[in-house]
Amino acid sequence: MYSQGLIGADGRTEETEDFLAAFQRRMDAEEKIEPNDAMPEGYRRTLVRQIGQHAHSEIVGMLPEGNWITRAPSLKRKAALLAKVQDEGGHGLYLYSAAETLGVTREQMTEELLSGKAKYSSIFNYPTLSWADIGIIGWLVDGAAIMNQIPLCRCSYGPYARAMIRVCREESFHQRQGYELCLTLSRGTEAQKAMLQDALDRWWWPCLMMFGPHDGDSLHSDQSMAWKIKRFSNDDLRQKFIDATVPQGEYLGLTFPDPELKWNEEKGGYDHGPIDWEEFWRVVKGGGQMNRDRITARKKAWDEGAWVREAALVHAEKRRARQLAAE
């Protein structure tokens, strides 16, 4: 998910004009680019960064929801949450392998995440404080992710597009289980309804930020559009998301925490209040509530798994040697 708000894309490139024009013609003809094809360095670099950021987001995204697996209120909810979190891990793995076809290694990408050099979606730097957050995340965070990801299924880079098709096929369950969870709470006790409203109040604005800065402030976005990496602008996708989501929230009897949110007959969509971009940049740059915890958790998993990775490699080597000896 979450790659629309690509942070710090750098599409600069130094090939000859003829080469770039020929590449652009392939793009304009909607041709797909495959791993060993000639491509501008800026195209490759943009994709490595975007797919990497996307993969990291899937992996870090397992943490806020994983936090509630042991406390799920029923076996059904626990099984669903476990399956969803496992899917997110799978999404990360599809995406890492798509990025690796561009000549980066998994180890490099992991190092960049752990050192803070690579970013991931800012939404995962918010804490999951109540069970209602799990419903809201499925409904809104995965819902926003779906909006971002569907156009990526047509991305010009073949391996990324193929990975996204697999991901999108699985996301719909994520959103539906979340909405159903919210629906259950909305029909529950007063305390449950209040818990749901509180979760919406906390998550709504961060979800709108998932689409990234306004079009006017979104650097390098034109180049990504020309290269068919990106198909819709940040603001267009955000608008689509709001228009689809508000009626769903009203059905749940919820109030969106935006007094300026109202239907605009003329444009056929909702108007909304200003987004706090200072908060967005603060969280992206590490000042969110959970930034440190997330990276600490990933580091711990990586460091404590080191001996397992080493042992598996040594064991594989030993088996190979034995096989050779037996032949």
**Contact residues: another protein, CB under 8 A:** 34, 36-38, 83, 86-87, 90, 93-94, 97-98, 100, 105-107, 111, 162-163, 166, 170, 309-310, 312-313, 315-316, 319-320
CA-CA distances (angstroms) from residue 239 to 146, 203, 232, 270?
14, 17, 11, 7
Count residues near Fe ion (CB under 5 A): 6
Nearest Cα neighbor of 233 from 217, 213, 215 is 215
Nearest distance from C-beta of residue 167 to another protein, angstroms = 11
Whole-number Cα distances in Å, 91 to 1, 97, 154, 231: 9, 10, 17, 21
Between CA 65 and CA 63 the distance in angstroms is 5
Binding region for Fe ion (CB under 5 A) out of 69-77, 172-180, 247-255, 271-279: 172-180
Nearer to Fe ion, 77 or 91 (CB): 91
| Percentage helix, strand, coil for the chain under 3-state DSSP, each rounded to 5 | 70, 0, 30
β-bridge mates for residue 82, sequence order: none
Instruction: Answer with the entry of Fe ion, another protein, none that 154 interacts with (C-beta below 5 to 8 A by kind).
Output: none
**Pick 65 or 258: Cβ nearer Fe ion:** 65
Q: Which does 105 bind (CB under 5 to 8 A by kind): Fe ion, another protein, none?
A: another protein
State both tokens at 164: 């996204």
Per-residue mark of binding to Fe ion, 211-250 (x: CB under 5 A)? ----------------------------------------
**All residues at 6 or more sequence positions from 323 whose CB lies less than 8 Å from its CB, including other chains:** none
Q: Which is nearer to Fe ion, 171 or 258 (CB)?
A: 171
> Of these partners, Fe ion, another protein, none, which one is at the site of residue 162 (CB under 5 to 8 Å by kind)?
another protein
Cα distance between the two ends of the chain: 48
Contact 162, 324 (CB under 8 A): no
- Confirm or reject binding of residue 56 to Fe ion (CB under 5 A): no
* Shortest distance (Å) from residue 61 CB to Fe ion: 7
Shortest gap between Cβ of 264 and another protein (angstroms)? Answer: 40
